Amino acid sequence: MTKTLLVLALLSLTFGAAQAREDDGTPTRFLERKAEGWFWYQDPKDEIPPEPPAQQPPAPPKKQDTAQPKKPEKAQDEPFSVEWLRASMPKLLDAAINDPTKENVEAYLYAQRVAMDKSQRYAEMTQRVVAADPFLDENNRVPIAAYTKAFFLRQLGQGTSEALKHIAKVGGLWVFFDSKCEYCRPQANSVQEIGKKYGFITKFISMDGRPLPNVPTFVNDNGHAKLLNLRLTPTTVLVVPPNNYFVVSQGMMAQDQLEQRIIIAAESNNLLPPDLAAKIRTYDRGVLSNEDMKKGAGDDPKAWVKYLKDRLDGRY
């Protein structure tokens, strides 16, 4: 009985395996597979991987619009404006010269007439504006009329005299000369006059050890000319103790010019007190300073005109 059950179990197992082989397409019996010989064993069929989806080629870039942007049209100058005249008159003149017909010459001359008439209208308005604004009237700075200008110049001369007398108290004049120098004699006369008029102490220094006819008293140069790098004679030097030397002129100079040079040298080196400096700066009346002209500018004319008026206020 037991043996019979074992035989049935074996038969059921064999039948199940054969059925499985038939299901996957493999012959179960050896006789049906005789063509394989001893190489009857086969690997399971390889699974063919699915083909990847074909990639779409990238879309070509869109063509950029290469058309140049249109330039804004240049505004036409207003006829007979300054801009129009500046652009048109040379062309009209060229046309009139190249082809002097009545029409070409007439066109240029009438354009010229417009330019001159515009200038006249500008001059007329300038007179009205200046007459109404004291800050723009140059007559308030330096008098133009003869009788007022004389007063102005007298004041200037008085201030110059006071300044030179002050300078004479703090310094003296040295004159370097050469006995063979033709211009040294008149220069010596001018310096002697300045010394007498304003009280300068003067010293005459000979470069060659010989005197001038109008300079009986002198000293020989002991190296000061080389120290001051002097090149010409006569040379006038403003000397301020203890060791300040200011070259006033090299070469002959008229007396009034020499006086101005002395004042310039003194003022440039702060030898004048403020009250005397103001007296000799009469031409500075109503003049903007350098600092004034570094500020206040802008695009609004009303704003910077007011700024300039505020700066000029009190300087007359």
Q: Where are the domains of the chain?
A: 77-132, 148-280, 286-314
> Distance between CA atoms of 276 and 244, rounded to whole angstroms?
21
The yes or no reply on domain 148-280 and CATH 3.40.30.10 is: yes
> Distance between CA atoms of 55 and 52, rounded to whole angstroms?
9
Residue by residue, pLDDT tens for the chain (316 residues) are 444 444 444 445 444 444 544 444 445 454 445 444 444 445 445 555 556 555 666 666 555 555 565 665 666 778 889 999 999 999 999 999 999 999 999 999 999 999 999 999 999 999 999 999 999 998 888 888 888 888 888 889 999 999 999 999 999 999 999 999 999 999 999 999 999 999 999 999 999 999 999 998 999 999 999 999 998 999 999 999 998 999 999 999 999 999 999 999 999 999 999 999 988 988 888 889 888 888 888 889 999 999 999 999 988 8
pTM of the model: 0.60
> Distance between CA atoms of 7 and 19, rounded to whole angstroms?
19
CA angle at 39 for the pair 34 and 41, rounded to the nearest 5°: 100
| Tokens (6 digits) for 315 | 């300087």
Number of H helices, E strands in the chain: 9, 5
Q: How many C-beta atoms surround the C-beta of residue 130 within 10 A?
A: 15
Cβ atoms of 209 and 178 closer than 8 Å: no
